[in-house]
Structure 1
């Protein structure tokens, strides 16, 4: 199996297999909808739109690791077809001008 390439950006997540001259298999927004513990979504008329969505990446920095983990689980196992116990390699992209801390 080819290595999976994942580019997590502020607005979009791009993922696919490391095959030259091939576009990413998945391009999805990183913004996620918050789901209640009982499985229902926060969609009451009294709720505010800001409390419904989660932005796990803000200006190139991961702010919510749990949300990124859920997003990557969906991308790798549902989107790219990985099987639990038969995972492959992952290459994460890094911004060109990453500050050295």
Structure 2
């Protein structure tokens, strides 16, 4: 149905690295075969994964732990913002989700 295909892309007002695809019920299956996605130029992430990395106060020498890391988008955002000799440990209990990270 045309209501599940993307019709608009807007920059997220509170995160310069995120875009909002409209309508909200768009199905990712319509987007995963796009060339830029296959090239790794963008990935899909839910708001629940975007918000936590924005709430961290980043500094040097931090030890950070992501206990629900798969498929890796949240950990990637955190790693990108980490400073100096900080360390990020990722963990995923669910085996199927864990395999998405490797």
TM, length-normalised to structure 1 = 0.25
RCO comparison, higher one (Cα < 8 Å, 6+): 1
TM, length-normalised to structure 2 = 0.25
Richer in strand (by share): 1
